[in-house]
Amino acid sequence: MVVPFNDKLTLLPHAKGSCIGLVEPNKVQKILLINPNSTKLMTTNCIKMVEQYVPPDAIVYGYTAPETAPTTVEGHLDGVISSADVMRDAYSLIAQADACLVACFSEHPLINCIREEFDIPVCGIMEAAIYSAKIIGGRFGIITTVYRSQIRHEDGVMNYGISNGCAGLLSTGLKVAELHTKPREEVLEIMRNVATKLITEKDADTLLLGCAGMTDMKLAVEDAVKPYGVIVIDGVVSGVNILSGLVRSGLKTSKRGLFCSSLESRTARGQNWL
């Protein structure tokens, strides 16, 4: 038996061949990587980055938000708009997935929206990265885009209850779009400099890439910090493997308390639409 997956998805080649929109639900985990902005390049880069790290019993689908969503997510309003657009556009896709990864390095509101609406495991790349960093190191540093993101991510680290594991955050001064519109070598040099400062001035022993748009820069940052023995963590790779492990362990999102069903609540008040 096969179950069709919407052809909007960018399909990741699997070790056993290419999946062309069809999967065997009893044999393969379906992990939906959601890019909540409308920039397809970011989705493509995330998929390319994670390809070699996908567990053998899983397949990752990359979804990009519709054109009505912001091209990048750089603030609270961007997050709210993109969450609404994704929930309305991708609801049926999420319903078919075994787990969802929100590929935005922030406390993106979409994460908890999906947790309320579905019982599958869900996480964002920020929380996946910081929890991974806490396991393998003592103090992590985060490379951010603009200064506002540095502030937002500082609050996020605090809200995730892991401030004592954070060495510090430093801004590159780059807007998300500039990661790919400015000359490549200029961007990489800024990334290398910020990474080095987090190690030499903040004593970070692991580094997190604080934006999904930085995913394809991981190798350059790793080369820059190799002499220090520091580990660079990409939240996309961490997130896929954490979620795969949760699915394999038979764990789902608890429906008692914080993430009780929003679908049941809406139905009870007669709201059968999103």
User: Domain-by-domain residue ranges, the chain?
Assistant: 3-124+237-268, 126-234
Round to whole Å and give the CA distance between 140 and 164: 10
Helix (H, G, I), strand (E, B) or coil at 33: strand
> Is it the case that residue 118 has pLDDT exceeding 70?
yes
CATH fold match for the domains 3-124+237-268 and 126-234 = yes
Model pLDDT for residues 227-258, shown as the tens digit of each residue = 999 999 999 999 999 999 999 999 999 999 99
Whether the per-residue pLDDT at 14 is higher than 80: the answer is: no
pLDDT at res. 12: 44
pLDDT confidence of residue 21: 40
| pLDDT beyond 90 at 13 | no
> Is the predicted pLDDT of residue 151 greater than 90, yes or no?
yes
- Dump pLDDT digits (tens) for 58-98: 999 999 999 999 999 999 999 999 999 999 999 999 999 99
Pick left, alpha or beta for residue 69 (phi over 0 → left; psi -120 to 50 → alpha; otherwise beta). Answer: beta
Better pLDDT: 273 or 238: 238
Q: Which CATH number is 3-124+237-268's, of 3.40.50.1220, 3.40.50.12500, 3.30.565.10, 3.40.50.460?
A: 3.40.50.12500
Alpha helices in 176-216 (DSSP H): 178-181, 184-200
CA distance 227 to 5: 45
User: Looking at domain 126-234, which CATH architecture does it have?
Assistant: 3-Layer(aba) Sandwich (3.40)
